Chain A
Amino acid sequence: MDLSQVIPDFPDVTQFAIPFFILAMLAELAYLKLSRTGNKAGFETRDTLTSLLMGTGNVVAGMIFGVVSYAALVWLWQYRVFDLGLHWWVFAAAFLLDDLRYYWYHRIAHRVRWVWAEHVNHHSSQHYNLSTALRQSWTGLFTGMFVLQAPLVLLGLHPAVIAFTFGFNLIYQFWIHTEAIGKMWKPVELVFNTPSHHRVHHATNPRYLDANFAGVLIIWDRMFGTFVEELDEDMPRYGIVKNIGTFNPLKVAFHEWVSMFRDAFQPGLTVRQRLGYLFMPPGWSHDGSRKGSHELKADYVRLNPEQAGRPGLPGAVMPDAGKEALVPGE
């Protein structure tokens, strides 16, 4: 059986989920209004429109540019080590391994500005609702991060199988973008990514920065030391550390690319410094004038020493550590 002829007929399951997405957003809006949850970020007209347009643009960009990455992975499949066939366990393994792959992609997206430039738009809303889930990147394929799927393909997982199972991963990630659901049953919170865990990921509170990168299984964060629990006494504030002042989808999609290249091509820098602006973590600067997540966490501990060493925060810091830098970075 030639799998490359059979497998590409798999449907894109995310398209089947679109009616559910719309109904769920309406239900969430109704719930938030009827329950008068004034302390929640809720919905905003222009923010919601921007998120929906970003989602639409993501689908269009995927259709146009996805061909390139998919073709590259299909080409690579001829060099696979194993012929795994189409057993049920192959799909289960693909889902599991691709969720691990997603964890690392996501962690890199927050720690390497080149990838943050495409991912930042997903975090650019100061709201946190189901429409935020659809605020997706238009430029993801430019970063080349699809290479993280190469090991899975070489293992014998056809790119179509990976794409098919990742569709379920994306659908799963939709429903966790909500404030309408509090903490869930403990075993669920222990194993799966939940609204509570993902609220932490979208928060700009210092303790929550660079935490909870999981797609479906939160076990990856627990295994690799990036898990932080949502605390009632430190409710998430959403957005990015330097919030944007636009609802224009074009600016949302490209603002960080523009800022990054402006930084990298400013006069008077060494090559190493220019590369630093492209590949070091967001907030890095050649002269130490900006603050990244580590500096913001250190600042928080310096101001709140009783919080030192708690999840998401460093141990005790020197009294003057980080005071020279003045402003949060991108």
Chain B
Amino acid sequence: MVLMVHLTGGSRIAEIAGEDAAKARFLVDYPEAQIARVILSADRRDAVLELEDGHVGMVHAVGSNYLTRFVNRGEMAAVPSAGEDGAVDLDTGDITWPRAQMHFADDETARAVAGMFASTLDQPANKRAA
């Protein structure tokens, strides 16, 4: 059965078509989010969204579908990868998706993305969304 699904195209990995597609997918789950900026990964498997209220949104390809996350700053640890240009290593703390490496166009973008996850919001905001 599994082989038949594979042979009929069932192993295709989802790609985020563009910034608008990333926004649209995120808004399905978080319809009230105000999205200020979208950064797409080079492989189009991840989109990091800067939200107007300072939080971070994520759209991540899982197989042929996507998952979304509404992230507090400081809730996930993101650092530019030491071993790969333009990559960001993400530690989510989520048992079903504990780690990810996102691949961006260049180091500058990677640093910007890592900075978006840094814990710089005021404490009450962090606490509210924990």
A43-B5, A245-B60, A245-B67 given; A48·B28 CB < 8 A: no
**Is the interface on chain A under 10, 10 to 19, 20 to 34, or 35 or more residues?**
35 or more
Contact, CB under 8 Å: A33 / B1: no
* Separation of A47 and B60 alpha carbons in the complex (Å): 16
Q: Which of A26, A239, A241, A289 contacts B130 (CB 8 A)?
A: A289
A43-B5, A44-B10, A326-B70 given; A243·B65 CB < 8 A: yes
* Separation of A246 and B6 alpha carbons in the complex (Å): 18
Contact, CB under 8 Å: B11 / A45: yes
Chain A residues near B65 (CB-CB < 8 A): 44, 126-127, 239, 243
Among B31, B32, B94, B95, which residue has the most Cβ atoms of chain A within 10 A? B95
A237-B28, A241-B29, A245-B96 given; A45·B5 CB < 8 A: yes
Contact, CB under 8 Å: B129 / A326: yes
Contact, CB under 8 Å: A29 / B63: no
Contact, CB under 8 Å: A45 / B10: yes
Q: Interface on chain B toward A: helix, strand, loop, or mixed SS?
A: mixed
Chain B residues near A326 (CB-CB < 8 A): 55, 70, 128-129
Contact, CB under 8 Å: A25 / B68: no
Contact, CB under 8 Å: B63 / A47: yes
A310 within 8 A of B: no
Segment from A163-171, A179-187, A251-259 that makes contact with B: A251-259
Q: Which of A22, A48, A239 contacts B5 (CB 8 A)?
A: A48
B17 within 8 A of A: no
A247-B63, A299-B32 given; A255·B128 CB < 8 A: no
The distance from the CB of A287 to the nearest CB of chain B, in whole angstroms, is 8
Of residues 61 through 83 on chain B, the ones whose CB sits less than 8 Å from some CB of chain A are: 62-70
Chain A residues near B5 (CB-CB < 8 A): 29, 43-45, 48
Chain B residues near A311 (CB-CB < 8 A): none
Q: Which residues of B contact A (CB under 8 A)?
A: 1-2, 4-6, 8, 10-11, 28-29, 31-32, 55, 60, 62-70, 94-97, 127-130
Q: Which residues of A contact B (CB under 8 A)?
A: 22, 25-26, 29, 33, 42-49, 52, 126-127, 131, 237, 239, 241-247, 251-252, 255, 258-259, 287, 289, 299-300, 303, 323-324, 326-328
